[in-house]
Amino acid sequence: MQDLRVQFDVSGGPITAVDGISFEIDRGEIVGIVGESGSGKTMTALSLLRLIPEPGKITSGRILYGEKDVVEMTDEEIREFRGNEVAMIFQDPMTSLNPVLRVGFQIEEAMAAHSRFTRKQAHDRVVPMLQRVRIPAAKDRVRDYPHQFSGGMRQRGMIAMGVSNEPSLLIADEPTTALDVTVQASIIELLRDLSRELRAAVILITHNMALVASLCNRVIVMYAGRIVEQGPTRAIFKNPQHPYTWSLLRSMPRVDEVEKERLISIRGLPPDLGRMPPGCKFHPRCKFRVDRCLTEEPPLGEVGPGQDARCWVLMKNIENPEAEALK
Amino acid sequence: MAQAAPVIQPDLELTYEIPEQVTLLTDAWRRIRRNRLALVGGVIIVLLFVVALISIVWTPYPTWLQAVGPTYQPPSAAHPLGLDQAGRDILSRIMGGALITIQVGIGSAVILCLIGIPLGLLAGFYRGQVDTTISFFINIWYGIPDLLVALILVFVLSDALHLIPRGVLVIVIAFSLTRWMDVARLVRGQALALREREFVEAARMSGARDAALLFRHIFPNALGPIIVQATFAIPAAVLFEAFLSFLGLGLPPPTPSWGAMASDGYHGMDFAPHIVLAPTIALSITLMAFNWLGDGLRDAFDPRMRR
């Protein structure tokens, strides 16, 4: 994905939801995209499938999948691409299954939409798929309707549908937010195993840092439609360089540091995408800003091995950031 | 949940009680059974069907046979509903009329849906130019006085051009061509709402074709309201046929149409009211039965009424 830009043409002029995002992802890799609501995470993922809602448009950039550019594909190519090469798993499994069709049939349909399997093969693969996502008594369950499934089972059903065509990229858009904690853990475990078995890349969109820490190899932190920091999970969690990343991590309660101190909250709200502040987009909420931040937007620069950050200051240059932040 | 907990592999062959299968239709059936009026309507409609089927093979007298007794004879043991102005057995003609009524009602509902559903689906699903065009025609059609157009259609199609012989078919076509908008508009609204639902989006993301989205995802979910609308179209069509026949523009004699029978007897109403009463009562009961059933179905398919 190179220099992707998604704009929404609304009455008040174009609004840029995703501005110049570039990243790449390899087979078997699990990448987490984190950020607040409205930071462009979901738009980035949707643009991979060219399914940005009206009146949004990809105005520049390329999305290369192997040799092919998704932006340039014909309608039939993109249809074949969706589901077959890239599958998406949604946040809310309650509403993502068609309530009037049997679960098994919906999974069969997902396979039948593509040329990889014949109708017969698709039919025979349904039960194994359900077993693969660990739905108990799968043989009996294929004939159930979605409302007979629990939340966790529906999410498993969605995952079964997603991986049924053996895609090489799986996009999970907050796959666990609608589920309770014990179910979350098993879904995460399932995603990890499947990505390993299928040798598929996974993009995990979330604002749950703990989830990222337990699952991802690499993290991309987004803010206001931009990547503000990216790098290997370990590096990001140990040495976050962008103040935004740092604050995100410090805003999380940690069991091992209970008595230590107050949580650090990020004051204010993310900027209105229609009226972006000049300079660094994070400066109005940043506790470490310098004058330069107000006028000039920093580039995404290398700050460590494989780690980039979009900041003039960088956290490593600040002594005792906690005290500074709480001032 | 900093660290995902280890997952115990569940027993895949685990067997346990599978809850009873509840589909849209069984659920609706369960609720309609509790609605007494709808049930009565349903029973009457079943009776109507039975009578209509019997009339194909047997009626006490042939429906067209005149002078089986004195004209204008009031009900008697031999002729429970009496004889009409041409001495025909009214009971036989009522039975024959049931068949005509059902043909008109069901035929109209089917053709209505065949026109309205595809148009509504296309308009609601593709929106934009397609929707604008179809909605334009829906609104124009609403503005046209349907009875007049239907009359002209019957006249043009069968009498002027001789395309379709004067009969049930031409009435059904004329009715459907003037009343398809209700179904189209309803389906359009459903499609507009359903296309935004997540399961449709999810299906799109897994590469489903437009046809699959329309017929697997949108149409089945709109089925409830469509059935209700179609049920209400049946009595409207029946009434339309009776009205046309009453005016002498519907089915040609000696077809035992209830509307034509009422028209026949209306001249002798002051001394032989049974000739008018029999078909009008039959018509009223039928119309009420369909309306009760329609009301019951509407309640049964309404998700807010769920238990």
pLDDT tens, per residue, chain B with 307 residues: 455 555 555 555 544 454 555 566 777 777 777 788 888 999 999 999 999 999 888 888 888 778 777 887 888 888 888 888 888 888 889 998 899 999 999 999 999 999 999 999 999 999 889 999 999 999 999 888 878 888 888 888 888 888 777 788 888 988 998 889 999 999 999 999 988 888 888 888 888 888 888 988 899 888 888 988 888 898 889 888 888 888 888 888 788 888 888 888 888 888 888 888 999 999 999 999 999 998 888 888 765 554 4
User: Is the bond into A298 cis (omega within 30 degrees of 0)?
Assistant: no
Contact B4 A181 (CB under 8 A): no
Which of A80, A109, A181 is opposite residue B212, by nearest beta carbon?
A: A109
Per-residue pLDDT at B14: 47
Contact B216 A84 (CB under 8 A): no
Per-residue pLDDT at B154: 84
Contact A214 B4 (CB under 8 A): yes
Angle at B30 between CA B25 and CA B35, to 5 degrees: 115
- Residue spans of the domains in chain B: they are 27-65+85-119+146-177+226-305
Is there a single domain that holds both residue A6 and residue A110? yes
ipTM, 2 decimals? 0.75
In a domain, A226, yes or no: no
Q: Which residue has the tokens 């002798």?
A: B268
Q: Show residues of chain A in contact with B14, CB under 8 Å.
A: 136-137
CATH for A149: 3.40.50.300
In a domain, A118, yes or no: yes
Is there a single domain that holds both residue A163 and residue A263? no
Q: What ranges make up the beta strands (E) of chain A? A: 2-10, 13-21, 30-34, 56-62, 64-65, 68-69, 86-89, 169-173, 201-206, 218-223, 226-232, 301-304, 307-309
Inter-residue contact A135 to A54 (CB < 8 Å): no
Is there a single domain that holds both residue A207 and residue A241? no
Contact A158 B16 (CB under 8 A): no
Contact B198 A96 (CB under 8 A): yes
Is there a single domain that holds both residue A193 and residue A237? no
Which of A51, A158, A189 is opposite residue B7, by nearest beta carbon?
A: A189
Is there a single domain that holds both residue A208 and residue A256? no
Per-residue pLDDT at B136: 94
Which of B6, B10, B19 is opposite residue A134, by nearest beta carbon?
A: B10
Per-residue pLDDT at A269: 72
Which of B1, B14, B209 is opposite residue A113, by nearest beta carbon?
A: B209
Count of the separate structural domains present in chain A: 2
Per-residue pLDDT at B307: 42
In a domain, A225, yes or no: no
Per-residue pLDDT at A79: 85
In a domain, A228, yes or no: no
Per-residue pLDDT at B1: 44
Low-confidence ranges of chain A (pLDDT < 70): 1-14, 253-264, 322-327
Per-residue pLDDT at B121: 93
Is there a single domain that holds both residue A211 and residue A297? no
Q: Show residues of chain B in contact with A90, CB under 8 Å.
A: 198, 202
Per-residue pLDDT at B274: 87
Inter-residue contact B190 to B225 (CB < 8 Å): yes
Is there a single domain that holds both residue A182 and residue A247? no
Q: Show residues of chain B in contact with A99, CB under 8 Å.
A: 199, 221
Is there a single domain that holds both residue A27 and residue A106? yes
Is there a single domain that holds both residue A60 and residue A185? yes
Inter-residue contact A266 to A251 (CB < 8 Å): yes
Q: Which residue of B has its CA nearest to A173?
A: B202
Q: Which residue of A has its CA nearest to B216?
A: A101
Per-residue pLDDT at B133: 93
Range of the domain at A270: 233-326
Q: CB atoms < 10 A from the CB of A119, how many?
A: 11
Per-residue pLDDT at A261: 58
> Which pTM value belongs to this model?
0.77
Q: Show residues of chain A in contact with B223, CB under 8 Å.
A: 100
Q: Show residues of chain B in contact with A145, CB under 8 Å.
A: 21-23
**Chain A closest CA to B220's CA: distance in Å?**
7
